[in-house]
Amino acid sequence: QSALTQPASVSGSPGQSITISCTGTSRDIGTYNYVSWYVQHPGKAPKLMIYDVGKRPSGVSSRFSGSKSGNTASLTISGLQADDEATYYCSSYTRTSTYVFGAGTEVTVL
């Protein structure tokens, strides 16, 4: 199972919006609305930010939103804040009943 494709890094200034893309195939993102996004700060466990493409777990800021079109999912962070600086991973359920992750995107707040 090949990893999902994410940009290595994305940056933005405080208050701006940024979007992280996550490209898969018809075997994963293109077939299932089971795309999740996680944030991981250095030395910490991952934290779920978005699940089922665009749903936010309780406690996650509405500044985070998710969407999907075809084989590509996206995470948008609006009103960028300093503590949004971290690595973000996308994940999808697949046709072989497994999960696949992206390689991660480092978000830098300028």
Q: Judged by CB under 8 A, which of 74, 75, 86, 89 binds other proteins?
A: 89
Interface with other proteins, residue 10, by CB under 8 A: no
Report if residue 69 touches other proteins, rule: CB under 8 A: no
- Find, among 61, 49, 90, 57, the residue nearest to 73 by Cα: 90
Q: What is the DSSP string of the chain?
A: -PPBB--SEEEE-TT--EEEEEE--TTTTTT-S-EEEEEE-TTS--EEEEBTTTB--TT--TTEEEEEETTEEEEEE-S--GGG-EEEEEEEE-TTS-EEEB--EEEEE-
Q: Does 97 bind other proteins (CB under 8 A)?
A: yes
Does the footprint of other proteins cover residue 7 (CB under 8 A)?
Answer: no
The binder of other proteins chosen from 39, 46, 74, 107 (CB under 8 A): 46
Q: Contact between 75 and other proteins (CB under 8 A)?
A: no
**Is position 100 an interface residue for other proteins (rule: CB under 8 A)?**
yes
Q: What residues make contact with other proteins under the rule CB under 8 A? A: 1, 3, 32, 34, 36, 38, 40, 45-48, 50-52, 57, 87, 89, 91, 93, 97-104
